[in-house]
Structure 1
Amino acid sequence: MTRSRRRLHDALAPLRGDGRGWVLLTVATGWLFTLGLRFLVPTLLPQVKTTFALNNAAAGFAVTVIWGCYALMQFPAGLLTDRVGERTVLATSLALSAGSLALLAAAPLFAVFLLAAAAFGVGSGLYGPARGTSLSKAFPDNDGAAFGITLAAGSVGSAVIPLVAGTAVGALGWRLLVGGTTPAFVAVAALAWVTLPEPIGATRSDGGSTPVPGPSAVEAVRRLPRALRDRNVLLASLAIMFYLFAFQGLTAFLPTYLVAHEGIGQGVAGPIFALLFVGGAVCQLGVGTAADRYGARPVLVAVAALAVVTLLVVPVVDGRLAWATLVFLLGTRMAIAPVTNAYVVARLPDDVQGAAWGFLRTCLFLVGSTGSLFVGAMADAGRFDAAFLALGGVTAVAVVCYAGLVPGQ
């Protein structure tokens, strides 16, 4: 066995055994398609705008609808996860996403397109809380690494799927590209139903193996204030909110910016945009493990600070090679996700972990979803460059929040 293969084997060994390898494989694969498809729409926005005769603000609103509905589903998804278990919620999420993508591809009017976008937001919105709690429960001692692998898989999907779409859209059209992903979601939904345990969590107090549901919705809501009282949870959540706003604004319009503002053809802009997620995948694999070893706070501050710098230099970059380098570096901001997710979920009470995490995600993604609308409006006002500078300032606020975390808690 070569040295690199031995290192890979040693890194993966703690993540396997007792069915945990299947949990990780299934959850990561589902996230690969779920996240990849959310970033397919921004890649295809130039064609969608042409089909429905839209301006930038209207196109940005379509992306906001996806992320807004995704956000609104986080709390209900958390409640459902506590009640019926991760397997049911994850399989349902993937199946609903498949149906919504078929409708999105067939939409004859922009109003129907928005309805389908909302449906995809709802379907994909079920995935996040169940993904987080399933990994936290399956990997209590290696959650940073497990989150890192899963979110890196999402980054790979976000790189490969838009890359293929950007290359093939001229020949196939955006409708066929979107609709062609439906079978993949159906297949992964079946995989989730077959391989994931149901539920991962509590059993009867008498020692029997029949699972019992979590607390009722009313009881879960009653327990939320206690679950969210932790200072570190609140600070980390605020940081995520500002970070998501900037990330959503960046990813929704970076392909459009490259094509319309920088004059780069879509056949080249697509691969450059894919580098964002390649950079994210590379960093997510290493940063999650680094946080397990050195602690979350220094890792979060360092990655977020780099994210500020890369956004501030967007208006001065010129040339395809320079853009490819910058976009790869912009992707390093995605390394925040596995560390912050693991950090927050581990500090939530077990009895309402899904509900509390879902509630936080609803608030965070709902605010974050407006980032695309903000950048779209700025672009229509002729202030595309200023929009990216503003996103850098918003990310700087996240740095301050991460710096305020109390080490060792």
Structure 2
Amino acid sequence: MGVRTAAGRLRGGGRGWVLLAIAAGWVFVIGGRFLVPAVLPQVTGAFEVGNTGGGVAVTVIWATYALMQSPAGALVDRVGERRLLAGSLLLSAGSVGVLGVAPVYLAFLGGCAAFGFATGLYGPARGTALARTFPDDDGAAIGATLAAGSVGSAVLPFLAGALVGSAGWRLVVAGLAPPLLVAAAFAWHSVPERDGASTPDPVPLADLGGDVFRAVRRRGVAIAVAAVTLMLFAFQGLSAFYVTYLARTLDQRVAAGLFALLFVGGAVAQLGGGALADRYGERIVLTVVSAVGAVAVAAVPLVGGLLPLAALSLVLGTRLAIAPVSNAYIIAVLPDAVTGTAWGTLRTAFFLLGATGSTVVGVMADRALFDEAFYLLAAVTAVAALLYAFLPSRATAGA
């Protein structure tokens, strides 16, 4: 299926506005979560905390994001995606204001938690809304949305790195509130309510726990979740400290630009990864991407020079193709009656465990083990590649 054909299928039947609204919201949700790593040297300096303190702040954002996944997934099955998507964007706008005015480090951590909880409402609703709207092209639709998020993750941190010296990190972070408010209005206007006639009746609460437990024990789900957890751990450690690591020898604006290139590579990989998985299957795409990612992370301490680092940054971003492929796979093999709840529960598990990656790297950096931290992330990624090599097809995933 060509690029034009795929784009036409995604736009058909007026569904393009739904995709555009969800993707636009994701631009600011995920892009906002990478603002803190982009200005981390200024944040740690302002509050007089070391790399460990910076790593903890990033972990708090992602851990609270993770903790919201399970309740948000349950809410998808009960109140629908439209309310959750718009509500998440509204609450995120308020939380970045809290970050911008935080007077002390503990208050900043509180703002990080608020931002994590608010953005945590978005993920499960985003995935199920796209899977419901594009049942035959879910990989391509999710890939396009996550690619848009990668563009936001490239542009917003790059702008932050360019403006932080003149505007200050507080104004840079709080300045995200207006576009979040606009995105909330767009989502409310464009994403339709669920059709009650086509939505399965909610599982009684008394039976819900057992059904979810049986769902997540499926072989395909178990393998995919174990591998994506390792990939997230590695990515959290990499993304939290990539700018800080490079800024030891490069100007911070240059380091922020290289960080942006990582997400440019990610956007391209996500656009292609979802479509390739729809055509050739998830196992080969996930295995190859994670294997390349392991080599690329191990190369970070070994590569010097602006052009080689730019090329490496682009390659590092290809690991982001994991998200649309694994998301579409897991959602597809979960039972319809508990898709939202089970998906939210799984997202809580793998994001919560993955969130510890930034703290681990921060602690190692403060102990003069920055290079070794990247080798650890490479090894974790290699284990994920091995797991993906045994991923069953969708047809046999429930075995």
> TM-score band, normalised by the shorter chain?
over 0.9
Say if 1:39 and 1:162, in contact at 8 Å, map to a contact too. yes
**Separation of aligned partners in 1, 2:33 and 2:70:** 19
Give the TM-score normalised by structure 1: 0.94
Q: Which amino acid aligns with 1:327?
A: S
1:284 maps to amino acid: Q
Match of 1:269 in 2: 255
Whichever residue aligns with residue 26 of structure 1, its letter is A
Which residue does 2:265 correspond to in 1?
279
CA contact (8 A) 2:200 2:337 kept: no
Establish whether residue 136 from structure 1 lines up as the match of residue 131 from structure 2: yes
In the other structure, the counterpart of 2:364 is 378
CA-to-partner distance for each residue in 1:312-360, whole Å, 9 max, x for gaps?
1111111111111111110011011110100110011111101000000
- TM-aligned CA deviation for residue 218 of structure 1: 4.5
Match of 2:229 among 241, 246, 261: 241
Distance in 2 (CA, whole Å) between partners of 1:80 and 1:395 is 32
Residue 171 of structure 1 aligns to which amino acid in structure 2?
A: S
- 8 Å Cα contact 1:86/1:134 also seen in 2: yes
1:90 to 73, 85, 92: 85
Instruction: Supply the distance in 1 between the matched residues of 2:41 and 2:247 (Cα, whole angstroms).
Output: 9
1:175-254 aligned within 5 A: 175-199=170-194, 202-203=196-197, 214-254=202-242
Gaps of 5+ in 2: none
* Alignment RMSD: 1.5
Give yes or no for contact 1:83–1:216 (8 Å, CA) kept in 2: no
Q: Write the distance in 2 (CA, Å) between the matches of 1:391 and 1:364.
A: 16
Q: Report if the CA contact (8 A) 2:35-2:157 is conserved.
A: yes
Fraction of identical pairs, as percent: 55
Letter in 2 for 1:355: T
Matched, 1:12 2:11: no
Task: Give the Å deviation of 1:221.
Answer: 2.3
Shift of 1:215: 3.3
Check if 1:104 corresponds to 2:90. Answer: no
Q: How far apart are the structure 2 equivalents of 1:213 and 1:259?
A: 53
Match of 1:208 in 2: none
Matches within 5 A, 1:249-328: 249-260=237-248, 263-328=249-314
Selected match of 2:35 from 12, 31, 40: 40
Partner AA of 1:239 in structure 2: A
CA contact (8 A) 1:87 1:197 kept: yes
Structure 2 letter corresponding to 1:173? G
> Which shows bigger deviation, 215-224 or 99-108?
215-224
Q: In structure 2, what is the Cα distance between the partners aligned to 1:385 and 1:54?
A: 21
User: What do the CA deviations read for 1:120-165 (whole angstroms, capped 9, x no partner)?
Assistant: 0000011111111001111111011001100000100000000111
- Name 2:144's counterpart in structure 1: 149
Unaligned runs of 5+ in 1: 1-5, 205-210
Rounded to whole Å, the distance in 1 between the matches of 2:210 and 2:255 is 49
Q: Which residue of 2 aligns with 1:3?
A: none
In structure 2, C-alpha distance between the alignment counterparts of 1:379 and 1:289, rounded to whole Å? 38
The structure-2 alpha-carbon separation of the partners of 1:258 and 1:297, relative to structure 1 and needing over 3 Å to count, comes to same
CA distance in 1, matches of 2:82, 2:206: 23
User: 1:103-122 counterparts in 2 under 5 A?
Assistant: 103-122=98-117
Cα deviation, 1:156-214, whole Å, max 9, x if unaligned, reads: 00000001110111111111111111011111111111111112x5428xxxxxx7863
Are residue 31 (structure 1) and residue 26 (structure 2) matched? Answer: yes
- Give the Cα separation in 1 of the matches to 2:334 and 2:3: 31
Question: Secondary structure at the residue paired with 1:313?
Answer: helix
Q: What is aligned with 2:48?
A: 53
Aligned partner of 1:68 in structure 2 is 63
Contact 1:83–1:213 (Cα < 8 Å) also in 2: no
Does the 8 A contact of 2:27 with 2:149 survive in 1? yes
- 1:340-393 residue CA offsets vs partner (Å, 9 max, x unmatched): 100110011111101000000000000000000000000000000000000011
> C-alpha separation between the residues in 2 aligned to 1:64 and 1:225?
27
Distance 1:229 1:382 in 2: 41
Q: Secondary structure of 1:99's partner?
A: helix
TM-score, structure 2 as length reference: 0.96
> Conserved in 2, the CA contact under 8 Å of 1:291 and 1:299?
yes
The 3-state SS of whatever aligns with 1:203 is helix
Question: Runs of 4 or more off by more than 6 Å in structure 1?
Answer: none
Q: 1:302 to 1:83 in 2, by over 3 A?
A: same
Deviation, structure 1 residue 309 = 0.5
1:348 matched to which residue of 2? 334
SS across alignment from 1:387:
helix
**Contact 2:154/2:261, CA 8 A, preserved across alignment:** yes
* In structure 1, distance between residues paired with 2:13 and 2:307: 46
Distance in 2, Cα, partners of 1:38 & 1:335: 18
Name 2:164's counterpart in structure 1.
169
Q: Is the 8 A contact 2:93 2:180 kept in 1?
A: yes
